[in-house]
Amino acid sequence: MRPIALSILAFLLISSAHAAEPLAAVERAIVPVAAWGGTPADASKARRHTITQITLHHQGEPFKPGTDPQAYLRRLQTWSRTTKGWLDIPYHYVIDLDGRMYEARNIDYAGDTNTEYDPGGHALIEVVGNFEEVEPNQAQLDAVVDLMAMLASKYKVSIDDIKSHRDHSDKTVCPGANLYRYVKEDYFRHKVALRLAGEQAR
Ligand SMILES: [Zn+2]
């Protein structure tokens, strides 16, 4: 078989694999706030926004295997509200070590940041761990692609507006060198584009 035919075959295989799990299934798989024991934010204090970008973050601290992600989320919510005085967890979604996706801040409300960029308009994704020190695992990478593709499809976000924290602020290394590599080398943008093409072909 000639290389071009092989690449078409590969594309069809990728498309059919993706067809097995539509983006609607990705959205349904997200663990809602109530399910991990979180509480809704005070809507009267929320800054409402319209999603135009997708921005990737890391936790920036080690996430030890065996840590209960739901307990982590409850602690993060309490810390965000009491210590930081924020509306809620600064991110809209959190991805754990197994690639499970959790709802955090309501997507309709703009996020918060310790740096100087304005997160208004950004859908914010946090992956647990410190990617200055460890590598992201495949389950985490797959979940980032799934979540970015679902968000890009739902909010009509351009592939070019899929970025990371450090692309918006030079005062941070977030999402960490080992995860940033996948942003810089267009891994996520490429995979999301394929995912969206597969969805359209359904
Ligand atoms: Zn960040």
Which pLDDT band, with edges at 50, 70 and 90, does 18 fall under?
Answer: very low
Residue 193 covered by a domain: yes
- Edge-to-edge, what's the strand order for the sheet holding 122-127? 101-103, 93-95, 122-127, 53-58, 162-164
Average pLDDT over residues 102-118: 95
Residue 160 covered by a domain: yes
Q: What is the count of structural domains for the chain? A: 1
How do residues 142-197 score in pLDDT, each as one tens digit?
Answer: 999 999 999 999 999 999 999 999 999 999 999 999 999 999 999 999 999 999 99
Distance (Å) from CA 16 to ligand 1 centroid: 34
Distance (Å) from CA 192 to ligand 1 centroid: 21
Distance (Å) from CA 76 to ligand 1 centroid: 14
- Per the structure, the complete domain to which residue 34 belongs is given by 6-15+25-201
Residue 20 covered by a domain: no
Residue 194 covered by a domain: yes
How do residues 31-83 score in pLDDT, each as one tens digit?
Answer: 999 999 999 999 999 999 999 999 999 999 999 999 999 999 999 999 999 99
The whole-number pLDDT of residue 49 equals 98
Distance (Å) from CA 42 to ligand 1 centroid: 23
Cα 36 → chain centroid:
18
Distance (Å) from CA 29 to ligand 1 centroid: 24
Residue 7 has pLDDT above 70, yes or no: no
How do residues 126-152 score in pLDDT, each as one tens digit?
Answer: 999 999 999 999 999 999 999 999 999
Distance (Å) from CA 91 to ligand 1 centroid: 9
Query: H/E/C letters for each residue in 45-65?
Result: HCCECCCCEEEEEECCCCCCC
Distance (Å) from CA 36 to ligand 1 centroid: 22
Residue 8 has pLDDT above 60, yes or no: no
CATH number for the domain harbouring residue 145: 3.40.80.10
Residue 1 covered by a domain: no
Residue 67 covered by a domain: yes
Distance (Å) from CA 174 to ligand 1 centroid: 5
